[in-house]
């Protein structure tokens, strides 16, 4: 299957600082990437849909200014958690969908990033 | 709106035996896709198998098969010959729409599978 790389896998930061998470599709192009958040022992919650060359689409209740998304190329999307606070501590995971769209539209996921804000 | 229901919070199976993980769905779409993902303790989401609503045969991928019963709106995952490495969370998902009208995955709450030696 297609490979999605996510970096870093784990980050600890001080409250008030910003953290950038990268999501790369290694062997395919992805017009669309997705950012999810997962709380312990819960399912994935879609935060936003990242579209190459255009603004991201955020789900209801997700702060656009808190979670900045940039999708500058067909293989890279970044999520920046700005002015992070302890309540932002969570597991963030990205996915990418192949372009052009295949029938199955499978989303391939990165390994996730555990963010701990002190 | 699409909805996925996984009623088994946890399942246990003996090594080398088969296990079925339940998934029911709700959608008003005529064409849809169903997915199963595996999430080990490391956190990554691993794609296992896909079933299209118009696929006439149940999907199979190695030891994984999907028992698709369209009339009952169920898409159960069957893992044959369980291995210790199969211990993980398993999520059933289907395609839905974001607020912006683009596609997204709608996930169930997951089932934690434990394979006993």
B95 confidence band (pLDDT: 50, 70, 90): confident
pLDDT tens, position by position, B81-92: 999 999 999 999
CA distance A13 to chain B (A): 20
Check B98 against A104: CB less than 8 A apart: no
* Contact by Cβ (8 Å): A94, A109: yes
Cross-strand bridge partners of residue A7: A22
Residue B81 distance to chain A (closest CA, Å): 23
CA distance A69 to A55: 8
**Mean pLDDT along residues A86-111:** 86
> CA–CA distance from B69 to each of A114, B72, B100, B110 (Å)?
37, 6, 31, 20
CB contact under 8 A, A109 and B110: no
Instruction: Find tokens 């953290």 and name the residue.
Output: A19
Q: In angstroms, rounded to a whole number, what is the distance separating the alpha carbons of residues B70 and B33? A: 12
Q: Which residue has the higher pLDDT, B97 or B3?
A: B3
Q: Using the beta-carbon criterion (under 8 Å), do A108 and B47 form an inter-chain contact? A: yes
Check whether B79 has a pLDDT greater than 90.
yes
Out of A1, A43, A49, whose CB is closest to B109? A43
Model confidence at A100, pLDDT cuts 50, 70, 90, reads: low
Contact B43 A95 (CB under 8 A): no
Binning pLDDT at 50, 70 and 90, where does residue A48 land?
A: very high
Q: pLDDT at position B80, please?
A: 97
């Amino acid at each position: 299957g297609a490979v999605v790389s996510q970096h870093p896998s784990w980050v600890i930061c001080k409250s008030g600082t910003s953290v950038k998470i990268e999501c790369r599709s290694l062997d395919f192009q992805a017009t669309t990437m997705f950012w999810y958040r997962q709380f312990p022992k819960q399912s994935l919650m879609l935060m936003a849909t990242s579209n190459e060359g255009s603004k991201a689409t955020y789900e209801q209740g997700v702060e656009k200014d808190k979670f900045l998304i940039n999708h500058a190329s067909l293989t890279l999307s970044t999520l920046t958690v700005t002015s992070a606070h302890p309540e932002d501590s969570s597991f963030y995971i990205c996915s990418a969908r192949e372009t052009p769209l295949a029938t199955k539209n499978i989303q391939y996921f990165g390994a996730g990033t555990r963010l701990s804000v002190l | 709106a699409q909805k996925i229901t996984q009623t088994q919070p946890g399942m246990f199976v003996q090594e080398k035996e088969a296990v079925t993980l339940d998934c029911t769905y709700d959608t008003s779409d005529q064409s849809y896709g169903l997915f199963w993902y595996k999430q080990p303790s490391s956190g990554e989401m691993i794609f296992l198998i896909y079933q299209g609503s118009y696929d006439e045969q149940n999907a199979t991928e190695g030891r994984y098969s999907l028992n698709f019963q369209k009339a009952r709106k169920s898409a159960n995952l069957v893992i044959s010959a369980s291995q210790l490495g199969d211990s993980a969370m398993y999520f059933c998902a289907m395609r839905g729409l974001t607020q912006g009208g683009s596609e997204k995955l709608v996930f169930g709450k997951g089932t934690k599978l434990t394979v006993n030696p």
